[in-house]
């Protein structure tokens, strides 16, 4: 399973139950990455994709019970640790901005994660978004 997470410069994901940021060009890139695969996310995350309405979207608050090893999962408010334990690939989008956070991904990543590729692109409202794909 490929786990997708958006983080700020310090690994932050959410503050007060709300995503730190969003960007329509990031969403477009994420959908390209997950094309041809089932893409799981929570109801909260799916609302962010209401304009794009992707065909491969599946909504669940407990996706681990249903997903296959080829699937993708975009995690914002979903319990992170079980997903991290099951993921064999990790796609990180970094905003390169500082936001408040009360839910974070612990950085640096465990040594078991090996960086496969890194790219940078401009978002619609973010100067520079960094995309990193890891595998283990």
Ramachandran assignment for 53, one of left (phi > 0), alpha (psi -120 to 50 degrees), beta (any other): left
Residue 23 or 132 with smaller CB distance to other proteins: 23
* Site membership for other proteins, residue 125 (CB under 8 A): yes
Name residues contacting other proteins, limited to 40-69 (CB under 8 A): none
> What's the number of CA atoms in the CB half-sphere (13 Å) around residue 95?
24
Q: Quickly count: other Cβ atoms within 10 Å of residue 90's Cβ.
A: 23
Indicate whether 18 belongs to the interface with other proteins (CB under 8 A).
Answer: yes
Stretch that binds other proteins, among 34-42, 55-63, 105-113, 119-127 (CB under 8 A): 119-127
Query: What is the distance between the alpha carbons of residues 117 and 104, in angstroms, rounded to a whole number?
Result: 22
* 22 near other proteins, judged by CB under 8 A: yes
**How many residues line the site for other proteins (CB under 8 A)?**
17
What is the pattern of x (binds other proteins, CB under 8 A) and - over residues 78-97?
Answer: -----------------x-x
Q: Is 31 in the site for other proteins (CB under 8 A)?
A: no
Q: Residue 60, exposed/middle/buried by CB under 10 A (0-12, 13-18, 19+)?
A: middle
Nearest-approach distance from CB 35 to other proteins, in angstroms: 23
Beta strands in 39-127 (DSSP E): 39-41, 57-59, 72-74, 89-94, 103-104, 114-121
Residues that bind other proteins (CB under 8 A): 8, 15-16, 18, 20-24, 95, 97-100, 124-126
């Amino acid at each position: 399973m490929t786990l997708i997470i958006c983080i700020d410069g310090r690994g932050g994901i959410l503050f007060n139950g709300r995503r730190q940021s969003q960007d329509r060009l990031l969403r477009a890139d994420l959908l390209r990455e997950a094309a041809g695969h089932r893409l799981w996310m929570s109801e909260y995350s799916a609302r962010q994709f209401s304009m794009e309405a992707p065909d491969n979207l599946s909504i669940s608050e407990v996706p681990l019970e249903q997903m296959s090893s080829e699937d993708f999962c975009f995690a914002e408010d979903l319990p992170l640790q079980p997903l991290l334990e099951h993921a064999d690939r990790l796609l990180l989008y970094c905003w390169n901005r500082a936001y408040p956070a009360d839910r974070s991904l612990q950085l640096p990543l465990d040594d078991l994660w090996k960086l496969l590729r890194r790219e940078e692109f401009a978002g619609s409202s973010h100067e520079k978004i960094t995309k990193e794909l890891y595998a283990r």
